[in-house]
Structure 1
């Protein structure tokens, strides 16, 4: 198996359950890892998952506000699988930095691990 991924892709986005989160926005950090069969030497980008393609998918999904972070990671997972059908597994983590909870919390996090 071969894993390709991105760590700490950072976005300004407007996800959140509360109306003020959709106005003020927040900083979000995404980690995404995908696994494909990797039993042979790879000589071409066409034989793997292009991490620029992963970034473009995440960027597009992050631009559409959702009330729940769970929706965001499921949307990323579906879009990645659609573009790269050879993916056998994905792990996607989404962190909301300094969530508005009235307490000093570095981040909240939602992680989706999925086998296809």
Structure 2
């Protein structure tokens, strides 16, 4: 299978807010409330890491995380961490580190778009 062409060009800015992201319905066993959809677009790779844009619409869903750092560029959400029963609220400009295997519940109150490195 051929890898998709990188959207990033060295030295050239890319408007992350304008990158097209095709959404799909989430698996029924992940959805807690609403009818959220999500999607992502791979921008490039950096060594063994992938850089991309991820977006989720309004609703609540669970996830099992991979190692990732992300920066929220638009939208708002709360993320509940099952391991320590803690919830954080994120919005534009926030940077978050997730680790492999974390059990999370995302409640998106305004469609969330983030740049991730995983």
TM-score normalised over the length of structure 2 = 0.31
Bigger radius of gyration: 1
Structure number having the greater helix percentage:
1
